[in-house]
Structure 1
Amino acid sequence: MSLAFIFPGQGSQAIGMGQELAQAFASAREVFQEVDDALEQKLSLLMRDGPEDQLTLTENAQPALMAVSLAVMRTLEKEFGVNIGRAAFVAGHSLGEYSALAAAGAISLSDTARLLKLRGQAMQRAVPVGQGAMASLIGPKTDLALAEAAAAAGSEVGVCVVANDNNSGNVVISGEKAAVDRAIEKAKELGARAIPLNVSAPFHCPLMQPAADEMARALAEATFKAPGAPVVTNIQAQPTNDPEVLRRLLVEQVTGRVRWRESMIWMAGEGGVTRFAEAGAGKVLTGMAKRIAPDADAVSLNAPADLESFAKSL
């Protein structure tokens, strides 16, 4: 069995996430405290009690989701003896790539928390509220070619690109609102359903360049080490161990496409991965894994019982 740990992105957050882990394991509580200390913010209380509109803010959701993922990983290691060395690869969806890097020891937990706080703030600053938009194109006819055609139609009136190639039947577009609206019309003509997303900014598109510039400056000052497992990156959909390449790709990722479908296909194919374990809040990536790589096993790890049964199965 070849194992890959995968880490969720924004949208998986929910009030109460990580609380079962915190109640059951001191190692999880340590992670949440370290993140609180790094941010000089009681993020763990916000995660536990809300309000939801504050947790959903990008600058809070991003470090919070990372904290839950890292609480899972530290608990697996400290309580069950399962360390990152058991994985052939790690990968994360958008902000989840930071979780993957932290889990693999490439960036410290405190640095990762601060970088994600800044990433959320920088993305929010990059485009005034209401000027950008994102939409999910879904349905059996939806594939990358259809999404590219819809984005091309949108590009006739403004910036519009494919932001997330999640899986066949689920592709996200992003850009200026008028352009995304035009792309939605085209997608419907082509036979897809289109759902406008309730997001605060148009992520993973060229409008995020000011945020990419901010992250380039911050990442240049962060300490990177070789990860304990190769990281299959969003930008390349290929693995790398090179700290400087990982640093550069995190900058490119702010404006670039999340090539998740390709990443999963590579891991399940050339990478030989037969089991995907989603470490963190929710089960979004587990569902995607089952659609993209149906021959592989996929499990979500976010409750104490999940961790125990997973450790016993190894």
Structure 2
Amino acid sequence: MARAFVFPGQGSQDVGMGKALADAFPSARAVFEEVDDALGEKLSALIWEGPKETLTLTENAQPALMAVSMAVVRALEAERGVSLGKTVSFVAGHSLGEYSALAAAGAFSLGDAARLLRLRGRAMQKAVPVGLGGMAALLGVGVDVAEKVAAEAAQGDVCDVANDNEPTQVVLSGHKTAIDRVAEIGKAHGVRRAVPLPVSAPFHCALMQPAADAMAEALASVKVNTPVVPVVANVLAAPLSDPEEIKKRLIEQVTQRVRWRECVAAMSALGVTDFYEIGAGKVLAGLVKRTAPTANAVSIGLPTDIDAALAALTS
């Protein structure tokens, strides 16, 4: 039996997340204080009090979700004696969650992770003028079909696979004109539904190159340590531990697809039977179960979740 900690991406945010952790555990509260200090503002007040539309802005949601995930990790470590290095074999995260995973494994300091994600969120938002990009989730088909739909919908525009989430859910990203063609083209390929996503920019596609350039510059001056356990990288769907390669793959991640289905499958093939989603929401636990039906998938985001999972984590 092996375990993995997995960390959620954008979309899992909600006003009030992490407040119960901060109230229950001094170590969790300290995480939010450290993130506030790193950013020079009270992000914690926005996380706990809203408004939701401001929290949902990419530049806020990314460091906020990382903060909640790290509050769970610190509470497990400091309050409940769980050692990440001894408890799990791998960490992985969905898009921005990869930064949370790396921070949890000691590759990034908490302050650096917060500053990088603030910059990443702003750079991704600025890369494409509002209204020119879009994203859509294809339901009922896998990545092979999604690639065909994307190719037909492009017609000279950018239309890329952004997220390969699970065997029947793939997200496309690119110019809004191309994304608008996806639903009709998808019908001929067996797509059950094509759902436009309420996002402010077309993430994980070629249009994000300016943001990738910004991250390359930022990561060049940040110290990356060897993680205490390997991180399964989004763009490789394979474990990494080398600091320089971690930086390289994080830069590529901005424009390339999140290979989440393959990440889960790779961890399963490497013996992982128990996946713990660390942070806000329960999205990843659902994706894990649809990719690896025999796996155990548990979400830990509240003090009660920590205590419920403790026996399994320390056995």
Shorter-chain TM range is over 0.9
Structure 2 residue aligned with 1:305: 304
**1:8-157 matches, cutoff 5 A:** 8-85=8-85, 86-139=87-140, 142-157=141-156
The letter of the residue matching 1:71 is: A
Contact (CA 8 Å) 1:4, 1:275: kept in 2 or not? yes
Structure 2 residue aligned with 1:214: 214
| CA–CA separation in structure 2 for the residues paired with 1:90 and 1:184 | 35
| CA–CA separation in structure 1 for the residues paired with 2:53 and 2:72 | 25
| CA–CA separation in structure 2 for the residues paired with 1:189 and 1:240 | 39
Contact (CA 8 Å) 2:182, 2:194: kept in 1 or not? no
| CA–CA separation in structure 2 for the residues paired with 1:184 and 1:106 | 41
SS at match of 1:264: helix
The letter of the residue matching 1:137 is: L
| CA–CA separation in structure 1 for the residues paired with 2:149 and 2:305 | 40
Structure 1 residue aligned with 2:251: 251
The letter of the residue matching 1:249 is: R
Runs of 4+ in structure 1 deviating by more than 6 angstroms, as ranges, are none
| CA–CA separation in structure 2 for the residues paired with 1:289 and 1:308 | 22
| CA–CA separation in structure 2 for the residues paired with 1:186 and 1:69 | 38
- Alpha-carbon offset, residue 311 of structure 1: 1.4
- Alpha-carbon offset, residue 262 of structure 1: 0.4
Number of residues of Structure 1 aligned to a counterpart in Structure 2: 311
SS at match of 2:75: helix
| CA–CA separation in structure 1 for the residues paired with 2:5 and 2:252 | 22
Structure 2 residue aligned with 1:262: 262
SS at match of 1:255: coil
**1:2-13 matches, cutoff 5 A:** 2-13=2-13
Structure 1 residue aligned with 2:157: 158
SS at match of 2:276: strand
Contact (CA 8 Å) 1:150, 1:184: kept in 2 or not? no
| CA–CA separation in structure 1 for the residues paired with 2:206 and 2:83 | 37
The letter of the residue matching 2:284 is: L
- Alpha-carbon offset, residue 191 of structure 1: 2.0
CA RMSD of aligned residues (A): 0.7
- Alpha-carbon offset, residue 188 of structure 1: 2.4
Deviations 1:180-217 (A, max 9, x none): 11223211222211000000000000000000000000
Structure 1 residue aligned with 2:275: 276
| CA–CA separation in structure 2 for the residues paired with 1:264 and 1:208 | 25
Contact (CA 8 Å) 1:152, 1:183: kept in 2 or not? no
- Alpha-carbon offset, residue 157 of structure 1: 3.5
TM-score w.r.t. length of structure 1 = 0.98
| CA–CA separation in structure 2 for the residues paired with 1:240 and 1:159 | 30
Contact (CA 8 Å) 1:24, 1:304: kept in 2 or not? yes
Q: Percent identity over the alignment? A: 61
TM-score w.r.t. length of structure 2 = 0.98
The letter of the residue matching 1:311 is: L
| CA–CA separation in structure 1 for the residues paired with 2:41 and 2:277 | 27
- Structure 2: gaps of 5 or more residues: none
Structure 2 residue aligned with 1:189: 188
| CA–CA separation in structure 2 for the residues paired with 1:79 and 1:99 | 19
| CA–CA separation in structure 2 for the residues paired with 1:120 and 1:240 | 24
| CA–CA separation in structure 2 for the residues paired with 1:306 and 1:176 | 40
Deviations 1:66-88 (A, max 9, x none): 00000000000001111211110
- Alpha-carbon offset, residue 13 of structure 1: 0.2
Deviations 1:43-70 (A, max 9, x none): 1000101000000000000000000000
The letter of the residue matching 2:185 is: K
